[in-house]
Amino acid sequence: MLPQEIIRVKRDGGTLDAAAIQAFVRGITDGSVTEGQAAAFAMAVFFRGMSLDERVALTRAMRDSGTVMDWRPLDLPGPVIDKHSTGGVGDKVSLILAPALAACGGFVPMVSGRGLGHTGGTLDKFESIPGYRAKPDPELLRRVVKEVGCAVIGATDDIAPADRRLYAIRDVTATVESLDLITASILSKKLAAGLDALVMDVKFGSGAFMADLDKAAGLAESIVTVSRGAGLPAVGLLTDMNEVLGRSAGNALEMRECLAILRGEPADGRLYEVTAELAAELLALARLAPDAKVGRAMFDEAMRSGAAAERFARMVAALGGPSDLLENPDRHLDRAPVVRPVTAERPGFVAAIDTRAVGIAVVALGGGRTKVTDAIDFAVGLDEVAGLGAEVGPAGRPLAIVHARSEAQADQAALALRRAFTLSDRPAERGPLIARRI
């Protein structure tokens, strides 16, 4: 079937069979489908939608457009598992989760991404570590996963190349929000990683891409259903992003926070709870635990005993980073020259946070990108960020501590933060941290 005929069928609300979808994706990959045709297809899908069978076929075709990892030759003594998040401000879960899962018997080739818009990227956080090889060659990746149990890396060019081209086209044609295309984009890369089980962390709230809870639930249901239809067991949690997750936002600052948690220092309760519940669900799904309750106990023990920290340290060293990062982070992680508390203009309790605006403030400091070619300043960001219900004031707890490259940048960040926080005269109640399980 010609590309234009495939587009016509979908434009008119018809259903495409797997062969037609495979042919179109093959054309996206080899260039025989033009950018205009790919854009027209994306727009037709955006308006007409796809059936479950079409979503599964599109996801599989995009998976098969490049290399699909096969872990069977390594004869691993446990399942290959991973987690994916839709992104948020201060979302540093992966830094703790990957080594903890490895300590519990899983093998975690975590293909992570860079920051997008107001959200930080796991890959950027790891690239704040001097020497860390975020894109190792396949042989090194397999060796680290087998010997350490986890490797947090970026996607190579041969992983789901059709998705990379189609996403770039969606980005400039206002079709990014298509539920069908988001599902296929996320899952094609996860299926290409050769996983046995997947847990999805789908964010909702003011700092999430899908702020509305019901829309976020629709995405979670789509991903879990399509994943299972494509042969990958999956479960999803809807988690709150109405405030920064943890105490920091910014690459090296988030790395420092997670290193402290791995060393056994007190953790932010919301960050620890989200990480623990994702681990519990995934350990049960992968049959490393009989149920989520036992999975939670396994995660807690891996953190308490230092087993997760040991896996993290080994992973960093194996991928070219310093062997003493866990013990001596200040020896290796960059620091910003300007560090300043931002206080509220009046005393009160934090009633609401425009978390997206907080993320944009970090980007403006240089901690994110406004275009793909931008370099990131790993040192800048925010620390000790106040959460909902916190009591703040001119002479009390600050809204956050700004880490900036210059005084002028610090001034701009302080102004943005004061606008992002709404205060009240009485403590506000937080909503549920984990709203739903899919």
pLDDT for 111: 86
Confidence of residue 375 (pLDDT cuts 50, 70, 90): confident
Binned at pLDDT 50, 70 and 90, residue 372 comes out as: low
**Strand ranges across the sheet with 400-404:** 338-342, 400-404, 381-383
Q: Tell which CATH architecture fits domain 3-63.
A: Up-down Bundle (1.20)
Residue 330 CB coordination number (10 Å): 8
The whole-number pLDDT of residue 26 equals 96
Residue 10 annotated as catalytic: no
- Return the pLDDT at 95: 97
Paired with 236 in beta bridges are: 200
Would the pLDDT of 28 be above 70? yes
Residue pointed to by tokens 């701009």: 412
Report DSSP letters for 184-220, one per residue.
HHHHHHHHHTT-SEEEEEEEESTTSSS-SHHHHHHHH
Fold of 334-424: Aldehyde Oxidoreductase; domain 3 (3.90.1170)
**How high is the pLDDT of residue 113?**
75
Structure tokens at 220: 């979670």
- pTM score: 0.94
* Catalytic, out of 29, 59, 183, 185: 185
Active-site residue, from 55, 84, 92, 332: 84
Instruction: Report the Cα 191 to chain-centroid distance in Å.
Output: 16
pLDDT of residue 173: 86
Interval 45-87: pLDDT, tens: 999 999 999 999 999 999 999 999 999 999 999 999 999 998 8
Identify the active-site residue in 125, 133, 164, 190: 190
- In the set 63, 114, 170, 296, the catalytic residue is 170
CA distances from 143 to 134, 251, 367 (A): 15, 27, 32
Could you tell me the residue ranges of all domains in the chain? 3-63, 72-318, 334-424
The answer to whether residue 272 scores a pLDDT higher than 70 is yes
Are 366 and 377 spatial neighbours (Cβ–Cβ below 8 Å)? yes
Q: Which of 82, 180, 354, 377 is catalytic?
A: 82
Please say if 370 is a catalytic residue: no
Give CA–CA dist 255/175, Å, rounded. 33
Catalytic residue among 133, 189, 203, 270: 189
Residue 415 has pLDDT above 90, yes or no: yes
Which residue is catalytic, options 59, 122, 227, 275?
122
Q: State the catalytic residue, choosing from 83, 118, 311, 403.
A: 83
Q: Residue for token digits 């925010």?
A: 382
Q: What angle do CA 109, 114, 116 make, to 5 degrees?
A: 135
The amino acid that residue 280 corresponds to is: A
The model's pLDDT over 205-263, given as tens digits with 9 standing for 90+, comes to 999 988 999 999 999 999 999 999 999 999 999 999 999 999 999 999 999 999 999 99
CA distance 76 to 71: 7
Q: Is 403 a catalytic residue?
A: no
Give residue for tokens 């949690």: 237
Q: Which of 164-168, 224-228, 319-323 has the lowest mean pLDDT?
A: 164-168
170 confidence band (pLDDT: 50, 70, 90)? confident
Describe the crossing of helices 52-63 and 161-171 by its angle, rounded to 10 degrees: 120
Strand, helix or coil for residue 379: coil
Q: Which of 85, 86, 178, 248 is catalytic?
A: 85
Establish whether 189 is a catalytic residue: yes
In contact, 168 and 89? CB cutoff 8 Å: no
Tokens of 370: 């406004």
CATH fold of 72-318:
Pyrimidine Nucleoside Phosphorylase; Chain A, domain 2 (3.40.1030)
Whether 185 is catalytic: yes
- 82 catalytically annotated: yes
Question: Is 83 a residue of the active site?
Answer: yes
Whole-number average pLDDT of the chain? 94
pLDDT digits (tens, 9 = 90+) for 282-302: 999 999 999 999 999 999 999
Is residue 203 part of the annotated active site? The answer reads no
DSSP letter (8 states) at residue 367: I
